[in-house]
A and B are shown apart, each in its own frame.
Chain A
Amino acid sequence: MDKFTKLTGIAAPMPLVNIDTDMIIPKQFLKTIKRSGLGVNLFDEMRYTLDGKEIPEFVLNQPAYRQAQIIVAGDNFGCGSSREHAPWALLDFGIRCVISTSFADIFYNNCFKNGILPIVMPQDVVDVLMEDAKKGANARQTVDLQAQTVTTSDGRVFPFEVDAHRKDCLINGLDDIGLTMVKAKSIDSFEQKAATLRPWA
């Protein structure tokens, strides 16, 4: 997993609420057995016509946002299915951070496993960041995970919360499975205890 420390980049405004995982990556692209290559189909049905032409109004098709690395989104981003193809597609496009007032639980988890930082901010802050993002390519926002701050293009700084374990994994690019494997003895002893308490399980 790529580390996430500090990012300065273009933020794309997507004020729509309830952007679901079917919008982020429609089901026909889930038939892959790989993690890579999904960026071209990110937001496919909003981004392309039925015959595959770009829809110019869609934010990521606009010249200013084609290189976006941050999305500032409406409430409840990533609701719907558990498909990790959603963060894979975002990452493959180049998005490393999504900022919203809330995220669906599974999507939120999936982001951290893929080096993407989801940031929850109150509505008034998201409103400020959204307006800032609307200024276009010259208005770059800075996300500093170590300091836990987002800075607008004109220097306003907003703090955010993230739990310590997830922050540590992102900053150091740590593999969860490796970390858990270190606790194999605890898992062994749990299994022995459970075999007596709940032998049917």
Chain B
Amino acid sequence: MTARTLYDKIWDDHMVDQAEDGTCLLYIDRHLVHEVTSPQAFEGLRMTGRKVRAPQKTIAVPDHNVPTTLDRANAATMTEDSRIQVEALDKNAKDFGINYYPVSDVRQGIVHIVGPEQGWTLPGMTVVCGDSHTATHGAFGALAHGIGTSEVEHVLATQTLIQRKAKNFKVEITGSLRPGVTAKDITLSVIGATGTAGGTGYVIEYCGQAIRELSMEGRMTVCNMAIEGGARAGLIAPDEKTYAYCMGRPHAPKGAAWEAAVTYWKTLFSDEGAHWDKVITLKGEEIAPVVTWGTSPEDVLPITGKVPSPSDFTGGKVDAVQRALDYMGLTPGQNLSDIKIDTVFIGSCTNGRIEDLRAAAAILKGKKKKDGIRAMVVPGSGLVRAQAEEEGLAQIFIDAGFEWRLAGCSMCLAMNPDQLAPGERCAATSNRNFEGRQGRGGRTHLLSPAMAAAAAITGHLTDVRDLMTATV
């Protein structure tokens, strides 16, 4: 048999039909749904009299619009249009009989955190959602990618997706990470190396020792941003850590079914000699804590670096960099670690899991945020929040002067009231630093939770390793 990649194997096991021109019909095991990209799809079903083909494989949770303040049970905390979207999801979930975690449910949270947490996401599955950060679920060795609303309707009606196969891209991270360097630094560094279009047309498989050494939370952070590198999906082959994470989750198989599943999951790896269309290798030891300086996730540099100049670039990027520097209010040659910030946001589907909160709390323990800084932690789900309270992390954040919020997407995309004002500069653990992403005129620097915590303490972008040395 021909040597195949992990992507090839999952693809082959989900192919329903292949047309002569190579267009395939791919079966979808899990369909995750949120309130922003689904109303028009459900409306389409109603207009055509179609049903949801597999409601038991469809899981919905409101996350983008929901307020994260403690008084959110009061409907007045939402704008009317947000409330209409959330109520539409309530109704659609009920009318079509799909699995649902409403705002009032402790399990509610960001869809990409809830899916794995509840055991809906398992190795070898195909997972889609009307959200580009669906790539997150690739951490389990599941083929997971974002789709548009028309495709949401297509999956609801048929449990399949029309797809053409992408190419195989291997991203290997050798060796081990240095202290203070995290999964976020890996994924940003990869985007820095390949560019935001470097993965277009590919599915990435992340591999190598540094990836194997990451926890499941860290692997989700890495895969989450595959889309920021342009890739359709990111994958990591499942291993003992994956099985351990899945075991006992509410929707994971049990007993003999579990044993059968693990036997199958153990076949999910790229064969020796499989064909790769593109390969890059980064050395884990050489990855530094990084921050973004511009308005594209590829605008990334080690925290020890300086703001670049447009003249450092070529082609269309020259004008784009000038525009980014004007927008960000930065000057070429400025030390990145001299950039003062107004706000710190810890959360999102990229970095809103328990390990992220632990990493930030480890830096903040016994310290306070700098006066005048607005700082908030938004756990990725109600269960992450509860666990962080149990572990004493919440108290560390509160003592450090952070707001301790309820779960949701929050300031990652600022569809709820958590937004930046024009000119406000934010150290954010989220995934996009686009113009206006966190609020019109807002300035975003992407970084890891530990780096965000360090910036909160000093009031400027900071090399977290300096604070770590100080505490030894």
Residues of chain A lying within 8 A (CB to CB) of residue B13: 197-198
- State whether A18 touches B25 (Cβ < 8 A): no
- State whether B230 touches A30 (Cβ < 8 A): no
Chain B, residues 127-158, CB within 8 Å of chain A (1/0): the string is: 00011101000000000011111110110011
A176 within 8 A of B: yes
A59 to B298, CA, bound (A): 26
Minimum C-beta distance from B128 to chain A (A): 10
- State whether B434 touches A20 (Cβ < 8 A): yes
With A16-B316, A82-B130, A200-B260 in contact, is A31–B85 under 8 Å at CB? yes
- State whether A27 touches B320 (Cβ < 8 A): no
- State whether A106 touches B25 (Cβ < 8 A): no
Report which of B48, B150, B200 forms a contact with A176, defined as CB distance below 8 A: B150
What residue in chain A is nearest B44 (Cβ atoms)?
A177
Minimum C-beta distance from B263 to chain A (A): 11
With A23-B434, A30-B36 in contact, is A187–B148 under 8 Å at CB? no
Residues of chain B lying within 8 A (CB to CB) of residue A165: 19, 21, 23, 162
- State whether B316 touches A50 (Cβ < 8 A): no
- State whether B434 touches A104 (Cβ < 8 A): no
With A18-B196, A23-B434, A164-B21 in contact, is A177–B153 under 8 Å at CB? yes
A186 to B134, CA, bound (A): 27
With A31-B81, A163-B164 in contact, is A110–B150 under 8 Å at CB? yes
A67 within 8 A of B: no
Of B43, B130, B150, B264, chain A has the most CB atoms within 10 Å of the CB of B150
Report which of A81, A113, A184 forms a contact with B132, defined as CB distance below 8 A: A81
Additional pairs, 8, CB under 8 Å, beyond known A20-B432, A82-B148, A114-B150? A17-B316, A80-B434, A106-B148, A113-B148, A180-B25, A180-B154, A180-B160, A200-B257
Report which of B147, B258, B320, B414 forms a contact with A106, defined as CB distance below 8 A: B147
Q: Which residues on A are within 8 Å of B, measured CB to CB?
A: 15-18, 20, 22-23, 26-28, 30-35, 45, 50, 74-76, 79-84, 87, 102-106, 109-110, 113-114, 163-165, 176-177, 180-181, 183-184, 186-187, 190-191, 194, 197-201
Interface SS of chain B: loop
B435 within 8 A of A: yes
B124 within 8 A of A: yes
With A76-B200, A105-B230, A200-B260 in contact, is A16–B319 under 8 Å at CB? yes
Residues of chain A lying within 8 A (CB to CB) of residue B414: 27
B63 within 8 A of A: no
- What would be 23 A-B contacts, judged by CB atoms less than 8 Å apart? A16-B316, A17-B315, A17-B316, A22-B435, A22-B436, A23-B436, A31-B415, A32-B81, A75-B197, A79-B196, A79-B197, A82-B130, A104-B230, A105-B230, A110-B148, A114-B150, A165-B23, A180-B162, A183-B16, A184-B158, A197-B264, A200-B252, A201-B125
| Chain B, 307-338, CB within 8 A of any chain A CB | 315-317, 319-320, 323
Residues of chain B lying within 8 A (CB to CB) of residue A16: 316, 319-320, 323
A187 to B15, CA, bound (A): 10
Minimum C-beta distance from B321 to chain A (A): 10
A183 to B24, CA, bound (A): 12
Residues of chain A lying within 8 A (CB to CB) of residue B48: 177
- State whether B132 touches A80 (Cβ < 8 A): yes
B17 within 8 A of A: yes
